[in-house]
Amino acid sequence: MAGRALLSARGLTRDFRGFRAVDQVDLDVAADSVHALVGPNGAGKTTLFNLLTGFLPPTAGTIELDGRDVTGLPPEQVARLGVARSFQITSLFPQLSGREHVELALQSPSGLGWRFWRSAKLMRRYRERADELLDMVGLAELAEAPAEALAYGRKRALELAIALALDPKVLLLDEPTAGMGLEDVDRTVELVSRVRQGRTVVMVEHNMSVVGRLADTVTVLQAGKVLVEGPYEQVRADERVITAYLGATDAAH
């Protein structure tokens, strides 16, 4: 792994009523890298994401962010320390516009709460930044459209703008291309390539072509354990991975 680890896990373990979904995982996410988590269904990717973002406390193990122990901290606190997660579109408010979503996200860490609505100056500052972020994800033209009117790929782009509003050190993307057609997949790859500049990205992704185009490092999980980790080409060629996962995927194409 090149560079220092910004996010690390040691012996990370999570049990659900005796079932071990994540089993003694060691992970080092290098600063400024894109790190993909892959693996067959049920491998523990989502659970690992939930552990890294504080949505689930671990049964055992530790998590460090930038050298600070964040094990067991609640999600708001983990987010405040710089780990943002792109949520699924179910968390969008149908009638709020893209711009309103991003403005809300921008004011959330300020501690001003709803008072910010009263300050025209602050509103302006949030508006400008919101428009910059919407532009970055290709939604400039659609800033005022209600979220419910956006096509699927655009909703996912809005989620990304919301996550970026927190100006995170680490951005976690949960299957950023899931359910997308080819055109949206290409647009998303291009988008992630753009937003990764100066950031660290961890993503769960099933689409191996997307992983190959974006990831510096790939961690393959199987049955809750790390099976293989390394650069994409190396991981892809690994016999254990071919047997466990990629072989089946390649055969399907």
Ligand X SMILES: Nc1ncnc2c1ncn2[C@@H]1O[C@H](COP(=O)(O)OP(=O)(O)OP(=O)(O)O)[C@@H](O)[C@H]1O
**Candidate ranges 5-13, 34-42, 98-106, 231-239; the one touching ligand X (CB under 6 A):** 34-42
The span of 45-53, 87-95, 98-106, 158-166 binding ligand X (CB under 6 A) equals 45-53
Q: Does position 46 bind ligand X by CB under 6 A? A: yes
Q: How many residues bind ligand X (CB under 6 A)?
A: 11
Q: How far is the CB of 54 from ligand X (least distance, A)?
A: 15
Residue-by-residue DSSP string for 136-152: HTT-GGGTTSBGGGS-H
Q: How far apart are CA 115 and CA 148, in angstroms?
A: 27
Strand partners, 141: none
Residue 211 is a binding residue for ligand X (CB under 6 A): no
Residue 95's H or E segment, with its range, is: none
Using CB under 6 A as the binding rule, whether residue 9 contacts ligand X is answered as: no
Closest distance of CB 69 from ligand X, Å: 23
Q: Note whether 41 binds ligand X by CB under 6 A.
A: yes
Residue type, 235: V
Q: How far is the CB of 38 from ligand X (least distance, A)?
A: 9
* Gyration radius from the chain CA atoms: 19
Instruction: In whole angstroms, give the CA distance from residue 158 to residue 163.
Output: 9
Kind of pairing between the strands at 200-204 and 170-174: parallel
Element (H, E) at 170: strand 170-174
Question: Given the complex with ligand X, which of 5 and 37 has the nearer CB atom?
Answer: 37
Token pair in block for residue 194:
């753009």
| Residue 188 is a binding residue for ligand X (CB under 6 A) | no
Least distance between ligand X and beta carbon 172 (Å): 13
Nearer to ligand X, 41 or 90 (CB): 41
44, 82, 98, 168: which one contacts ligand X (CB under 6 A)?
Answer: 44
The site map against ligand X for 47-76 (x = CB under 6 A) is x-----------------------------
- In this complex, which beta carbon is closest to ligand X, that of residue 96 or of residue 223? 223
Q: What residues does 202 pair with on adjacent strands? A: 35, 172
Tokens for 188, please give them.
Answer: 């998303």
Cα 2-32-67 angle, rounded to 5 deg: 80
